């Protein structure tokens, strides 16, 4: 399936009805492809009385296509290509002992996912790579126990940055000296920041709150995700989160974007686009 036509237009420009029709057409084609190439999926559709291409093509909305429970990806090896065509296996994050979802990618699918993600993120931060601060520690890429979700997220978003630095050292302490040097080097320029919500709150905001140093990130663009799963007792509303960060580093509230995604839809991220607000700043 060729996605070039979709990638020629801006991701948020189409009207809802137009997007609904386009998504329905694409998902019907994908349903037929998977039905023809994945025995397990074929059997699922058969249980719904869907046995032929004609049965699929009669659908008028993607909502009529049987939805799959995420648990199936934990219990079955669902793939529509030969095993030797799989170039990457993505797994979901999970605590010790939990089953994880396994998503098998061939070369074409992996490439398409990267292109789509680039298209979406570029709509928020622009098309050129920006100096980047990763609001985490580089240790996350070295320790396998930490790697699954955080490491994958950092690696995925790092392709949008250049001259990347980590805000935290290996002991999870704010690396103030490195940040001061970096911010002086790129003074007056846009800066891309990425991190996970609970990490930013605990190790960046809380540390700056106690510190006399208030970095100037008024030209910053922050994308964060992952929610509050590991810090639920300290969870705050999106508005409080934005205001709190603005108070300690001057980042504009409408330049802070929350996203979410799931391994079963790798490559597609769902961004929370903030309404336009006047930016207040400590600077």
Q: Residue 126 belongs to a domain with what CATH number?
A: 3.40.50.980
Provide the CA 178 distance to its chain's centre, in angstroms: 26
Assess if residue 218 is contained within a domain.
Answer: yes
Do 122 and 239 belong to one domain? yes
Residues of the chain with pLDDT under 50: 145-147, 273-277, 281-283
Contacting residues for 95 by C-beta, under 8 A, at least 6 apart: none
Neighbours of 140 (CB within 10 A): 23
CB 135 within 8 A of CB 200: yes
Assess if residue 158 is contained within a domain.
Answer: yes
**Number of domains the chain is built from:** 2
pTM for this predicted structure: 0.78
Do 138 and 210 belong to one domain? yes
**What is the SS3 assignment for 228?**
coil
Domain coverage including residue 46:
1-67
Assess if residue 119 is contained within a domain.
Answer: yes
Assess if residue 99 is contained within a domain.
Answer: no
Assess if residue 97 is contained within a domain.
Answer: no
Assess if residue 73 is contained within a domain.
Answer: no
Assess if residue 94 is contained within a domain.
Answer: no
Do 136 and 225 belong to one domain? yes
| Euclidean distance between CA atoms 161 and 133, whole angstroms | 8
Do 161 and 230 belong to one domain? yes
Do 256 and 160 belong to one domain? yes
Assess if residue 52 is contained within a domain.
Answer: yes
Do 43 and 132 belong to one domain? no
Structure confidence at residue 163 (pLDDT) = 96
């Amino acid at each position: 399936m060729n996605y070039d036509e979709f990638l020629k237009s801006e991701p948020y420009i189409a009207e809802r009805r137009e997007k609904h029709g386009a998504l329905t057409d694409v998902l019907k084609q994908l349903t037929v492809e998977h039905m023809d190439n994945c025995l397990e999926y074929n059997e699922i559709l058969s249980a719904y009385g869907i046995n032929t291409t004609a049965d699929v093509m009669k659908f008028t909305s993607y909502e009529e296509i049987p939805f799959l429970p995420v648990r199936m990806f934990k219990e079955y090896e669902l793939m529509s290509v030969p095993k030797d065509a799989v170039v990457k296996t993505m797994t979901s994050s999970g605590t010790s002992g939990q089953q994880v979802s396994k998503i098998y990618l061939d070369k074409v699918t992996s490439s398409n996912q990267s292109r789509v993600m680039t298209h979406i993120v570029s709509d928020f931060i622009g098309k050129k790579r920006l100096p980047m601060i990763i609001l985490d520690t580089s240790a996350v890429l070295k320790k396998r126990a930490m790697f699954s979700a955080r490491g994958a997220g950092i690696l995925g978003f790092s392709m949008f940055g250049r001259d990347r630095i980590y805000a935290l050292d290996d002991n999870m302490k704010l690396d103030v000296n490195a940040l001061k040097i970096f911010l002086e080097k790129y003074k007056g320029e846009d800066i891309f920041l990425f991190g996970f919500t609970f990490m930013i709150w605990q190790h960046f905001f809380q540390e700056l709150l106690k510190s006399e140093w208030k970095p100037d990130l008024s030209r910053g663009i922050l994308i964060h995700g992952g929610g509050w799963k590991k810090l639920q007792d300290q969870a705050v509303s999106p508005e409080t989160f934005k205001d709190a960060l603005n108070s300690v580093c001057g980042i504009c509230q409408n330049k802070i974007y929350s996203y979410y995604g799931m391994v079963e839809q790798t490559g597609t991220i769902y961004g929370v686009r903030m309404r336009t607000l006047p930016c207040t700043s400590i600077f």
